[in-house]
Amino acid sequence: MIDVDGLISLVRNYNPKTNEKLIRDAYEYGREMHKGQTRHSGEEYFQHPVAVAAILTEQRLDDATIVTALLHDTIEDTRATYEEIADRFGEEIAGLVDGVTKLTNLQLSSTGSRQAENFRKLFMAMSKDLRVILVKLADRLHNMRTIKFMRPEKQVQKARETMDIYAPLAGRMGMQWMRDELEDLAFRVLNPEARSSIIRRFITLQRETGDVIHKITNDIRKVLEKEGIEADVFGRAKKPYSIWRKMEEKGQGFSRLSDIYGFRVITESEADCYRVLGAVHRRWRAVPGRFKDYISQPKSNGYRSIHTTVSGRDGKRVEIQIRTREMHEVAEAGVAAHWSYRDGVRAENPFAVDPAKWLESLTEHFDTAEDTDEFLEHVKLEMYTDQVFCFTPKGDVVKLPRGATPLDFAYAIHTRIGDSCVGAKVDGVRVPLWTRLKNGQSVEIVTAEGQRPQAAWLDIVVTGKAKSAIRKSLRAEDRERFVRLGRELARVAFEQMGKKATDKALETAARHMGYEDAEDLLARIGSAEITAREVVEALYPELADTSGDEIEEARAIAGLSPGQAFARAKCCQPVPGERIVGISYRGRGVIVHAIDCPVLSEFEEQPERWVDLQWHSGKHPAVYTVTLNITISNDSGVLGRICTLIGEQKANIADMKFVDRKPDFYRILIDVELRDAEHLHTVMTALEAESAVAEIERFRDPGRKP
């Protein structure tokens, strides 16, 4: 553990005017409060707050943040109180410690409305003082570095939460180094075999090619020396998770990935950045579509840099980032650069973004969300995506998340433009509405009177604003039909519980669940946004399903009448964990369909036959057959590896059928017996990772008779 003099020395390296007495007092107070406490590893607990403080010194943060790190667990885990900390260390530090304590108690990995409310609290804490999040991120980083001492199930929970929430948040704040490390530490827990495989391939590659990083770094330095440009050049291999993500996104094996190394050129001036770019492009051929100028169009978190990819030594793709030293400081610290110190004074970095303005840009669309799902959609889109910059015909810049389409562009300009969109031109050429936009493109939207949003648009757009506007329009258009269907589903669900769906009951449920009125509630039931069962359980929690962990197939479905027979629809093959609905047949009982099954459209005018159902919660046996459509390369041993992979995931192959044979590939339908939707996802992910699998999808056939 770093002693108090060692910690003060770390702070003094960048802030000679540090309040040494304040840090020393906080160190001794925290150590006394945590006395007798130990971590899972058996080490003295106070080692953790000291390690968190040390991580924050790497970002050259102010004394208040360092002291908060030393005290961040005292209110929650010791006899210390807010009042005592405020009295000894001041209101500013007490407020920061209290903020970190409240964040620690938030269950951000929970689901539904609770998760939405907790995210609101997260952003509320950030809006008060962003340093609270900086301490929390450093706290999570140290916990992930020492996660091996936790119970296995706790490791998975923390790793998933880190991957889903904290790593993207660090990235959105511009702290890319922290995001990379958090993701890789979580990856080590969630998929250790894949990570080990990538590391082994790296070692093999290095043995075959030598130190590629050193060679390419020297190549770049020679080019810059020839041009008379002074700059530092650094190279690194990308983190295993970053490589895994590229393999997943591109559907390529490791051997086909070429840009697995990254290089950084740090210059003295902005003009030198563009001189470096010119020198690099003259020496090597630029890869089309891989150039981004974040100097002329900075990210909202203050990030500035030029990104380019060239075909370097031996034809290998080389990704190069070019920036000045000041830009590099912001790229490393992100929003935290606002609090960075140098030589005892707050560093005046012209590129450091104002945290208040950054937070405002992050949350500007949150208040427009109409319900829980839309709010979470906004949050995750803002946190998890990079941005592209496109232009209107008049030259105005429109910021959109990566993957955005002309429809997103139209809604970003105005809802009315989006609703009436019938086409788009990108750089003067007519393109489909599902085209993914790229940086620097000019977009012109074609509109027509009488045009209305279509349901298919929801699969095209990616922004929360566009999705919200489309849903709102569709709800208004289909409201009457949805209300009628919702009323029938509610009636059946209430009667199955021995209750009546009276107007008063529906009004009460709407108010309790946060909807406008009973009609709004019924419309959402009819549009499958919520289930009638959820409405019943919101009013009568004591009727909620409380069945045990072992769920027999014969009693897997909740919502049926006593003794009522049921069967899974063959067309969509629903599995536990998926939203379902039943269609009743005279003499045959109920056929259970997935809520998105296209066959359900045949019964829209027969609401009396619909039965609101759901799977009993708990552990289900692996008896639910799902058909997978897999395309594999026609090589020896491939089919055996596929079968082995499925078996390793504790799934059983019930049937196999070859539907297409070509000289270079086979297409096969495999019936796999699974437990639930999560088991299905696990099997498909394992198969996708196999390099011999070209394509895999869940096979659904509307023509199969129920």
The tens digit of pLDDT for each residue in 356-369 reads 565 555 555 555 55
Say which amino acid occupies 247.
Answer: M
Distance, CA of 47 to CA of 354 (rounded, Å): 33
Q: Which of 20, 25, 58, 76 is catalytic?
A: 76
Instruction: Say yes or no: do domains 4-190 and 548-706 share a fold.
Output: no
What is the signed CA dihedral for 192, 195, 196, 197, rounded to 10 degrees?
Answer: 120
Q: What angle do CA 418, 424, 427 make, to 5 degrees?
A: 130
For residue 636, what are the contacts with CB-CB under 8 A and spacing of at least 6? Answer: none
Instruction: Please tell me the predicted confidence (pLDDT) of residue 242.
Output: 81
Q: What angle do CA 275, 278, 280 make, to 5 degrees?
A: 110
Q: Which residue has the tokens 């020496």?
A: 283
Instruction: Please tell me the predicted confidence (pLDDT) of residue 149.
Output: 85
Q: What is the mean pLDDT of residues 472-483?
A: 78
Q: What is the pLDDT of residues 610-642, one digit of tens each?
A: 998 988 877 888 899 999 999 998 888 888 889
Instruction: Please tell me the predicted confidence (pLDDT) of residue 115.
Output: 53
Q: Which residue has the tokens 């040494």?
A: 20
Give percent of the chain above pLDDT 70: 84
The fold of 548-706 is Alpha-Beta Plaits (3.30.70)
Q: Which is the CATH superfamily of the domain at 4-190?
A: Hypothetical protein af1432 (1.10.3210.10)
Q: Where are the alpha helices (DSSP H) in 3-107?
A: 4-12, 20-33, 47-57, 63-71, 74-77, 82-89, 91-104
Q: What is the pLDDT of residues 369-389, one digit of tens each?
A: 555 555 555 555 555 455 677
Instruction: Please tell me the predicted confidence (pLDDT) of residue 548.
Output: 47
Active site residue 272: no
Q: What is the pLDDT of residues 554-583, one digit of tens each?
A: 888 988 888 888 999 999 999 998 889 999
Distance, CA of 303 to CA of 328 (rounded, Å): 9
Instruction: Please tell me the predicted confidence (pLDDT) of residue 61.
Output: 87
Confidence bin at 349 (pLDDT 50/70/90)? low
**List of long-range contacts for 529-532, beta carbons under 8 Å, 24+ apart:** 529/371, 529/373, 531/489, 531/493, 531/579, 531/612, 531/614, 532/486, 532/489, 532/490, 532/492, 532/493, 532/494, 532/612
Joined tokens for residue 110: 């929970």
User: 670-704 b/e with 16+ CB inside 10 Å = b?
Assistant: bbbbbbbbebbebbbebbebbebbeebeebbeeee
Rounded to 5 degrees, what are φ and ψ at 464? -60, -40
Q: Which region among 16-25, 76-85, 256-265, 661-670 has the lowest average model confidence (pLDDT)?
A: 256-265
Inform me whether the pLDDT recorded for 99 exceeds 90: no
Q: What is the pLDDT of residues 517-555, one digit of tens each?
A: 898 899 888 877 788 888 888 887 656 554 445 688 888
Distance, CA of 296 to CA of 298 (rounded, Å): 6
For residue 362, what are the contacts with CB-CB under 8 A and spacing of at least 6? Answer: 123, 172, 300, 382, 383
Which of 391, 382, 371 lies closest to 462 in space, CA to CA? Answer: 382
Q: What is the mean pLDDT of residues 185-210?
A: 81
Are residues 173 and 334 in contact, defined by beta-carbon separation less than 8 angstroms? yes
User: 148-186 b/e with 16+ CB inside 10 Å = b?
Assistant: eebeeeebeebbebbbbbbbbbbbbbbbebbbbbbbbbb
Rounded to 5 degrees, what are φ and ψ at 547? -65, 160
CATH architecture for segment(s) 203-346: 2-Layer Sandwich (3.30)
What are the structural domain ranges in the chain? 4-190, 203-346, 385-462, 474-544, 548-706
Question: How many residues in the chain?
Answer: 706
Distance, CA of 662 to CA of 556 (rounded, Å): 41
Mean pLDDT of the chain: 82
Distance, CA of 612 to CA of 531 (rounded, Å): 7
Joined tokens for residue 488: 């029938």
DSSP for 646-674 reads HHHTT-EEEEEEEEEE-SSEEEEEEEEEE
Confidence bin at 320 (pLDDT 50/70/90)? very high
Say which amino acid occupies 690.
Answer: E
Instruction: Please tell me the predicted confidence (pLDDT) of residue 118.
Output: 58
The β-bridge partners of 423 are 446
**What is the pTM assigned to this prediction?**
0.55
CATH architecture for segment(s) 385-462: Roll (3.10)
Are residues 65 and 339 in contact, defined by beta-carbon separation less than 8 angstroms? yes
Are β-strands 317-324 and 261-267 bridged in parallel, bridged antiparallel, or unpaired? parallel
List, in sequence order, every beta strand (DSSP E) within 477-603.
557-558, 566-568, 580-585, 589-594
Alpha carbon of residue 677 to chain centroid: 19
Active site residue 664: no
Which of 308, 324, 212, 222 lies closest to 272 in space, CA to CA? Answer: 324
User: To which H or E segment does residue 425 belong?
Assistant: strand 421-426
Distance, CA of 521 to CA of 20 (rounded, Å): 60
Q: Which of 20, 58, 77, 688 is catalytic?
A: 77
Confidence bin at 224 (pLDDT 50/70/90)? very high
Which of 426, 434, 431 lies closest to 461 in space, CA to CA? Answer: 434
Collapse the DSSP code of 347 into the 3-class scheme (helix H, G, I; strand E, B; otherwise coil) and give the result: coil
Q: What is the mean pLDDT of residues 677-686?
A: 84
User: To which H or E segment does residue 548 belong?
Assistant: none
Give the orientation angle of helix 20-33 with respect to helix 82-89, to 10 degrees.
160
